[in-house]
Amino acid sequence: MTMVLAVSALVGLSIGSFLTVVVSRYGTEETIVSGRSRCPSCRRILHWFELLPALSFIAQGGRCRSCRAPIPPLYLVIELACGFLFIFAAHAVFYSGLRAPVSLFLDGLWPGSGAVFSFLYFASFLTSAVAVSAYDWLHRLVPRAFLFPPLFIALAAIGGDSLFRKDPAALWPPLVAAALAFGFFWLLWRFSKGQAMGRGDADVAGLIGLYLGPAQTLFALLISFWAGAIFGILLVALGKLDWKSQVPFAPFLFGGALVSLIVGVPDFVALLFYGF
């Protein structure tokens, strides 16, 4: 088990390092798939030992070796977040039994393949969460391109699970959760004319609904609203923001989803769905 967690951490750190390139280059003239990594300030091409996830940042004191310009701390946050989230996904799947749709069918074809797929299923969701949250934090914008990979994986898994179980009704809980979550945030965006919520937040909420289902999605949204409100009020009290300032909400949505995955469905939320 320790080896699985260690490997998951290394994979997560490496993917986090790649995400720093994605987040910094997306929407610019630079491409993601080609071009050597450079210092954001002096544009010097970086050597391999300057690209070690997390370690290079710490060893260099968060500065470029040549020009000594500060490296954005968000790069380190992205790498560490991916590392920790991959550890969480591995522990939840391989130790606590968290499973993705269609995993039971895959286990029937090849023992253990369902667990591997489940790890990839939730890892893709968490990877998207980090990328979207970082980009939204920087630019107050949710790129839909970052949401497409986990969206397609979720739809394929949910559809495959319903097909192999020969149970069309299995489609409805995640699809309804996604539709309701998306619709709620879309209406907030539409009627507030973008003041209360961004259009991209509706896409994020819909994705969360697909992955978590109705009860866990409701709990995730409650957590996100509470956390976002507390954060905003705290920054206003500290004089960092005023009441008209916009706060990126995607990080709080994904944070609520993570809490929901860790905690499960509390009794007061379960009562709304199963108690009557």
Domain co-membership, 115 together with 176:
yes
Domain co-membership, 240 together with 125:
yes
Domain co-membership, 70 together with 107:
no
Provide the domain limits for residue 33. 1-97
**Closest alpha carbon to 248 in 148, 129, 154, 151:** 129
Domain co-membership, 106 together with 42:
no
Alpha helices, DSSP H, located in the chain: 2-25, 55-59, 73-94, 103-109, 113-139, 148-165, 172-192, 199-237, 250-263, 267-274
CA distance 251 to 276: 33
Domain co-membership, 43 together with 176:
no
Domain co-membership, 112 together with 80:
no
- Domains identified in the chain, total number: 2
- φ and ψ at residue 129, rounded to 5 degrees: -60, -45
Identity at 106, one-letter amino acid code: L
Cross-strand bridge partners of residue 63: 70
Domain co-membership, 62 together with 109:
no
Domain co-membership, 104 together with 93:
no
Domain co-membership, 178 together with 208:
yes
Domain co-membership, 189 together with 91:
no
Domain co-membership, 58 together with 104:
no
Task: Per-residue pLDDT tens, the chain, 276 aa: give them.
Answer: 688 999 999 999 999 999 999 998 898 877 776 667 777 778 778 777 778 899 998 988 888 888 888 888 999 999 999 999 999 999 999 999 999 999 988 998 899 899 999 999 999 999 999 999 999 999 999 999 999 999 999 999 999 999 998 988 889 999 999 999 999 999 999 998 888 888 999 999 999 999 999 999 999 999 999 999 898 888 878 777 666 667 899 999 999 999 999 988 776 666 666 654
